[in-house]
Structure 1
Amino acid sequence: MASDAAADNDETSRRAKYLIDGRRVMVSDLLEAGLIQPGAALRFARNRIGTTHCATVTDKGRIRLEPDGEEFRSPSRAAMVAAGMRAVDGWRAWTVVGQDRLLDAVRQELLDRTMVGVPRQHEHATRQHVHDRLRQARRRAEDADPELLSVRELLALWGATDRGDQVGQIEADLANHGLVTSPSFRAVTLDAVITLTTPPDDAAGSETAEAPDDGHVQVAENDEGDDDLNVRLTVGNLSPLCGVESVGPNSTLAEAITKLSLNDFSQLAVLSGPRNVRGAVTWRSIALALQQKPDASVADAINPRVEVVSYDRDLFETLPALQQRDFVFVLDETKAIKGIVTTADVAHRYGEMATPFFQVGELDQTLRWILTRAFDIGEVRSVCGKHVTSFERLTMGDYQRVLENKEMWQTLGWPLDRSAFIARLEEIRSIRNKVMHFHSDPVPEDAVDKLRNFTNLLRHYRDLA
């Protein structure tokens, strides 16, 4: 009996690793857990048009469509091909015949079993907390009371402060619980408010369901266990989507001028409603209107040639419009005008990204310059290893190994505390890794300050060398 219990614990730990590793549950996992059997029949009923698609589960966890026999790892891909649709959440489309429940419900049972089997004092208690929170969010979404939170608060559930290396795990956990964020948490600012919800119902069974061209809602199409490669910087990453200052087409120029002055703006949106942009007024268009007509109104100063883009549009694709017009208005997931991005915003963001990048570069070159003048390559190799054939091959970790060496530190003759210096260098190494991975979120200001202060210190001792 004891051996059986141990085997059960081992099995629970092994299944828990699915969640801990942060990958998407696959149909093969359901087979392995005994929740469905090879040969299980699946049905995708599209009641609105009176059509039903059938499939079976193979012994390898693939979905075989009937009658053509085409196989897919992904329930969503199988449903999309069967129905000829561009976007379907297959987990909520396929019903397991005999169990009379969706694949999504079977997946949820697997997640619940796994978490119940992990002791609360287990080292993966954080995973249990995430599971519990996402289960709660799923219930609220199904009760038409979806949870609202900022992107920053969402990331904090996983102990993350930015959309770095944990994004794949976060997306997998959301997908495993049948959740999406609206708008996409990747494509907005950290302080933007998002909704934890389920994919639109019509994505599971409507004859008209297609993937939106602007991708306003994340539909779980990539459920094959592979993380999406998504390193884009989007328009929404620069705009908080909290609304734009505007005037109506019948407003007075006095109102427009007052709002421009109070907010130190260069332009205002002219709106007839949240989704109806008539154009923009700028200082230039106002001056031209008044030159031609002293009693001009906003209607006389409207520049109708404005660019409107979705929040998740690739920023690089928008740069030509920004260069030509100096600004673009931004649509949120409901296609309402909720933001604006200007050339100044772009310059500021690229400054935020470039500053730490160049600081890391200067820091790296300065450390190398100092070491080349203090030691020969043989001394460095004795500490760092045979992979160091020249000073150009040194990495940040190699710098740390050299400076951690007591004798080599004493050779430098710096009147500094070695432990404190090395501790900060370790922080710098972590910051450097984030910078070089080019995440869409700017490096925190305190990290920039650490880079700047460390670089200034190195400059001082470089000049003394």
Structure 2
Amino acid sequence: MRAWTVRGGWDGRREEAALEDGAAIAGWTEVRHDLSTLASFDELRELLTRCYSDEGQRTRDNWAHQIWRFLHDIAVGDFVVMPRKYRDVVAIGRVVGDYAYRADAHAGYRHVRPVEWLNVVERAAISGDLRDSMGTLLTVSELSRRDAAQRVRALAETGIDPGYSGAIAPPTDIDTLISEVEAAGSRQLSVRDLLGLWGFGRRTSDALEVVMAALHHNDLVVRPDFTTVQLDSIVTVLSADSADPENDESVSAVDGSDLAEADKHDFTWRVGNVRQQIAVVAVQRTDSLHKAIELMVTKRLSQLPIVDEHHRLVGVVTWESIAHKSLTSAGIELWGARAAQYPPAAHGEQELFSRMDDIRKFGFVVIVDSENVVTGIVTAADLADELEARVTPFMVLEELERRLRQAVRNMPPELLRSGSKKKVEKAEDLTLGNYPYLLDQSAAWKWLGWPFEQQRIVERLRDVAKYRNEIAHWNIDAPEDEPQQLARARELLDLLKLVTPGIGKA
């Protein structure tokens, strides 16, 4: 059993006909031939060349693969999902017949697979990872990862997505990522693994420039934007190639703009970049106030989102709102104890500083996705932790550099110059990167008279100088994402404190 997405056209033009006729309809207006007569994939490619001679070979090959899947890979008994373009729902059905050509139908409605439509579910009922994989622009694509087929079956039968929490093995290399997206229309992986394909561990300006350019070059887009979520968040890489000929204008206007935006290298700090202390905890409107209080006490929370059956945000309960209602009413329930005012929900891609006033005023902001499904909550404590994580490395390095400068302040100029090729007359002329070279000189080391092994200190200085260079450049991810380097810097600082005891922090 497999599951497939068969879209009803970029503007949804075929959706109503598909539901009324009990069919998945492939489109391709200019292909006015019974495709069951084709004996091979090469014959299909030749046919598309005749029908769409003005299109490039890559585009025609992309279409040929989609049509071939529609003809031969989709089997009777497989599930089909059709996201509705202008409605917040997805139609789910089971394929009940082989390909058929309807010669009397309007062009673009002739290539069909009979489908028994089983259910229509709200998009919000589908977990974000599966929903994103359905978001490919291709007309025909397979939903193949993270137990997609079994989850689509559950949605068809119960309207509930059981979800999937297992790890995702990344592609082995960039070419594999490209080929897998071309084959299936999408590929899911973590942001960390996406960056790793290009040899990066963090989202620095250099990393974003390389990765975004490569994605653009290969007509790939990422949902959600991989710069607006956590390093270990799951994103979906999608093909930006046109889904069918009628889609060309849409791709240019919509996803072409996405690719153009990638070249701007927007390095804004986003709401979704803030690491949260715990996974989001929520209660449903029908839950008891006692349950909410128990969760808030045991999880040490000051507020709880109230959600509906699909985890969409409908309200918030806080200690303040509970206390206020308890003073004015007796025997209140959860819904009655909800906060009358709370900050508007935030999306992960919003600029963090645009929501700082809300976080300062209310102490939190709830994060939702495009379907208003709660995905997280950023609190004032989260911001404090984030600030500490980002500031601490600079504080450690600043004190470390101050102690080094003080240690060599009275060193003769001729010795100071041995640590740098530029003109050096006093300690203030040295940068952190100069110290490994300076202390590697026997005369300078002897002058210091430190009770350490020279080469071990020099190695530590080199590590710290490299660390300083890395964090000196802008990056989305907090420097604490390299805890070993920060720990090494702290160790060197502890050693320097032994030989520069009279120097305090700034």
TM over 0.5: yes
Q: Distance in 2 between matches of 1:302 and 1:200?
A: 47
Structure 2 counterparts to residues 90-101 of structure 1, below 5 A: 100-101=55-56
SS of 1:219 mapped into structure 2? helix
Displacement of 1:322: 0.4
Q: What is the identity percentage for the equivalent residue pairs of Structure 1 and Structure 2?
A: 25
Q: Distance in 1 between matches of 2:372 and 2:213?
A: 27
Displacement of 1:293: 1.9
Equivalence for 1:309: 346
Q: Distance in 2 between matches of 1:396 and 1:301?
A: 56
1:193-250 residue CA offsets vs partner (Å, 9 max, x unmatched): 11111349689645698669xxxx9921247xxx433322211112579973222233
Equivalence for 1:428: 464
1:458 matches 2:496? yes
Q: Answer whether contact 2:433 2:465 (CA < 8 A) is retained.
A: yes
Q: Distance in 1 between matches of 2:241 and 2:337?
A: 41
Displacement of 1:338: 0.9
Of residues 155, 160, 181, the one that matches 2:200 is 160
CA change 1:334–1:196 in 2 (3 A) is: farther
Displacement of 1:403: 0.5
Q: Distance in 1 between matches of 2:361 and 2:59?
A: 48
Displacement of 1:274: 4.2
Counterpart of 1:185, as a letter, is F
Displacement of 1:308: 0.6
CA change 1:317–1:464 in 2 (3 A) is: closer
Displacement of 1:355: 0.4
Q: Distance in 1 between matches of 2:357 and 2:257?
A: 27
Q: Distance in 2 between matches of 1:380 and 1:395?
A: 12
Structure 2 counterparts to residues 124-273 of structure 1, below 5 A: 130-142=173-185, 146-164=186-204, 165-199=206-240, 205=248, 219-222=258-261, 227-239=263-275, 244-273=280-309
Displacement of 1:334: 4.7
Of residues 362, 365, 379, the one that matches 1:325 is 362
CA change 1:335–1:220 in 2 (3 A) is: farther
CA change 1:372–1:103 in 2 (3 A) is: farther
Q: Answer whether contact 1:191 1:240 (CA < 8 A) is retained.
A: no
Counterpart of 2:260, as a letter, is E
1:339 matches 2:382? no
Q: Answer whether contact 2:418 2:438 (CA < 8 A) is retained.
A: no
Q: Answer whether contact 1:189 1:239 (CA < 8 A) is retained.
A: yes
CA change 1:415–1:378 in 2 (3 A) is: same
SS of 1:268 mapped into structure 2? strand
* Structure 2, unaligned runs of 5 or more: 1-8, 13-51, 63-170
1:20-76 residue CA offsets vs partner (Å, 9 max, x unmatched): xxxxxxxxxxxxxxxxxxxxxxxxxx9979xxxxxxxxxxxxxxxxxxxxxxxxxxx
1:342-396 residue CA offsets vs partner (Å, 9 max, x unmatched): 00000000100000011111111111111113x1223312441243244222112
Q: Which moved more, 1:346-355 or 1:393-402?
A: 393-402
Q: Answer whether contact 1:285 1:303 (CA < 8 A) is retained.
A: yes
Q: Answer whether contact 2:397 2:468 (CA < 8 A) is retained.
A: yes
CA change 1:48–1:259 in 2 (3 A) is: closer
Displacement of 1:150: 1.3
Structure 2 counterparts to residues 107-122 of structure 1, below 5 A: none
Q: Answer whether contact 1:231 1:440 (CA < 8 A) is retained.
A: yes
Q: Answer whether contact 2:321 2:340 (CA < 8 A) is retained.
A: no
Equivalence for 1:293: 329
Displacement of 1:266: 1.1
Q: Answer whether contact 2:174 2:198 (CA < 8 A) is retained.
A: no
CA change 1:314–1:343 in 2 (3 A) is: same
Equivalence for 2:448: 412
1:260-288 residue CA offsets vs partner (Å, 9 max, x unmatched): 12322111001235474222101121122
Of residues 338, 349, 352, the one that matches 2:386 is 349
Counterpart of 1:136, as a letter, is S
Q: Distance in 2 between matches of 1:201 and 1:259?
A: 48
Q: Answer whether contact 1:148 1:195 (CA < 8 A) is retained.
A: yes
SS of 2:417 mapped into structure 1? helix
SS of 1:191 mapped into structure 2? coil
Of residues 413, 419, 424, the one that matches 1:377 is 413
Q: Distance in 1 between matches of 2:241 and 2:279?
A: 25
Equivalence for 2:117: none
Q: TM-score, normalised by structure 1?
A: 0.66
Q: TM-score, normalised by structure 2?
A: 0.61
Q: Answer whether contact 2:304 2:317 (CA < 8 A) is retained.
A: yes
CA change 1:293–1:334 in 2 (3 A) is: closer
Q: Distance in 2 between matches of 1:337 and 1:323?
A: 20
Q: Distance in 2 between matches of 1:156 and 1:294?
A: 57
Q: How many residues align?
A: 343
Instruction: Kindly report the root-mean-square deviation, in angstroms, between the aligned alpha carbons of the 2 structures.
Output: 3.4
SS of 2:366 mapped into structure 1? strand
CA change 1:333–1:173 in 2 (3 A) is: farther
CA change 1:260–1:211 in 2 (3 A) is: farther
Counterpart of 1:365, as a letter, is R
Equivalence for 1:86: none
Q: Distance in 2 between matches of 1:457 and 1:283?
A: 47
Q: Distance in 2 between matches of 1:48 and 1:102?
A: 25
Counterpart of 2:222, as a letter, is T
Q: Distance in 1 between matches of 2:414 and 2:211?
A: 46
Q: Distance in 2 between matches of 1:205 and 1:151?
A: 29
Equivalence for 1:56: none
1:400-445 residue CA offsets vs partner (Å, 9 max, x unmatched): 2111111211121112111111111111011111222242212222
Counterpart of 1:462, as a letter, is T
Equivalence for 1:277: 313
Counterpart of 1:446, as a letter, is Q
Q: Answer whether contact 1:47 1:205 (CA < 8 A) is retained.
A: no
1:81-133 residue CA offsets vs partner (Å, 9 max, x unmatched): xxxxxxxxxxxxxxxx95621777899xxxxxxxxxxxxxxxxxxxx963322
CA change 1:250–1:382 in 2 (3 A) is: closer
Of residues 478, 486, 492, the one that matches 1:448 is 486
